Amino acid sequence: MELDFERCYRAVDSRDQRFDGWFYTGVTSTGIYCRPSCPATTPKRQNVRFFPSAAAAQGAGLRACRRCRPDAAPGSPQWDVRADVVGRAMRLIADGVVDRDGVPGLAARLGYTERHLHRMLRAELGAGPLALARAQRAQTARILIETTGLGLAEVAFAAGFGSVRQFNDTVREVYGATPSELRVSRGGRRAVGGAGTITLRLAYRPPLHAGALLDFLALRALPGVEEVRDGAYHRGLRLPHGPGTVSLTPADGHVAATLRLADMRDLAPAVARCRRLLDLDADPVAVDTTLAADPVLAPAVAAEPGVRLPHAVDGFEMAVRAITTQQISLQSARTTLTHLLTATAHPVDHEVDGEVDLQNSGQPHDRPLGLRPFPSAEEVLSVGDTGFRMPGARRETIRAVARAVVAGELDLAPGGDREEAVRRLAALPGIGPWTAGYVAMRALGDPDVLLPTDLGVRRGAAALGRPDDPKTLNAYADRWRPWRSYAVIRLWRAA
């Protein structure tokens, strides 16, 4: 990836937080790499190199700055929104695919040979898939070292390393300190909440309109799976090695996340899914600049900067929600989905760490509820007709999607091919343009989806003084490209 030296150096000189995650600053005289916003003295031009990824900086022999912690910077918004192979690969690596399935598994998911995938990633990011996964393992290890009481050997394998020696060598190379020294330097602090609990900060680029995020999620919260309470969002997670729960609390400059995991190997996937859920890797300045150029949306952007596009932690879940919501209200859809949850519930679902779950989820609690993940495609296929409480055609559409997911014919994961997923969805009976578009927007993270027939979108357009017929609205929305999905969120708020 080409990085313009002058532009990057100006960002470093001004300590502009907006560029954190876009690139990394390597200082050859000190042997470290930093975020653009690092508060240290601006290095001399002749001592600076810029890198498109932390892995590329590490590959050049640099270690992470202990002051600005560049390995914990927000993810690049470029990889977050790009639908090409490199963007998909970055999302899959963040979700831990290389740690679980190796580079062959990553290449198979993307449909390319290992050699060609390596070439593409090296050309764009300055590092291959193994180096990118190694950089992520190092960050995961650092979190576990500093926030848990796990033994260092346990940390090594939980972070995805193949051996303790590999773990020790990587941590020493990336951070300039041994794992034991990192633990001592942070005071050996351990998160409150017992075994399997990790508390960490999820960075984002300001501004972030936290109220809009929580409003959106609260309106659609499904009892037993998620809730918004006391300024925080809580939900159950289905992760590669077991279930988990998360509590996400927006704060100044970060989102505080408390994760409760059945298996510590799921830390990196859980963090990646939470970041996607809250759209924390977006570039809100770029989005708002485009939308504010339209006089119709400009007042809303000025009043509420940083409105994000909530995504999904589970693509199949979002598809089921979209199908269920067709032509009915959100409240009715929530009732219908609650019946489905009850039909797939197991006795263990009703108690997690001694806390009441699904049946009493409406009652106030002093602690986060024991929440369960949304049912898997396999679980939904096992439900009889009476468990759906919806028209037969809609029930069969959900089953068709579940069968396609189980068979591997439909990939709704973050690294899936958006165009291919939408094409396969649209080919299923009962899936129209609105449903396919909604899934593309929220499950697949497409930033440029318009839903011109959506009732909320049309009401929002009317509230802002624009014609609300779908054809006219569709033509008008061309000025919002490539951020029409974010315009949809603002129209819903206007409605």
Catalytic residues: 34, 454
| Cα–Cα dist 296/460, whole Å | 11
Q: Which two tokens stand for residue 446?
A: 């497409």
Q: Residue 162: how many CB atoms within 10 A of its CB?
A: 11
| Cα–Cα dist 78/147, whole Å | 30
CA distances from 389 to 332, 333, 341, 350 (A): 11, 10, 11, 22
DSSP state of 128: -
Residues in CB range of 402: below 8 A, 6 or more apart: 316, 377, 378, 380, 381
* H-assigned helices in 191-240: 210-219
| Cα–Cα dist 223/147, whole Å | 30
DSSP state of 20: B
| Cα–Cα dist 376/48, whole Å | 49
Residue type, 137: R
Burial of 462 (0-12, 13-18, 19+ CB in 10 A): middle
| Cα–Cα dist 238/247, whole Å | 14
Per residue, the 3-state secondary structure of 53-86, as one string, reads: CHHHHHHCCCEECCCCCHHHCCCCHHHHHCCCHH
| Cα–Cα dist 138/54, whole Å | 11
CB-CB contact of 352 with 234 (8 Å): no
Q: Residue 147: how many CB atoms within 10 A of its CB?
A: 18
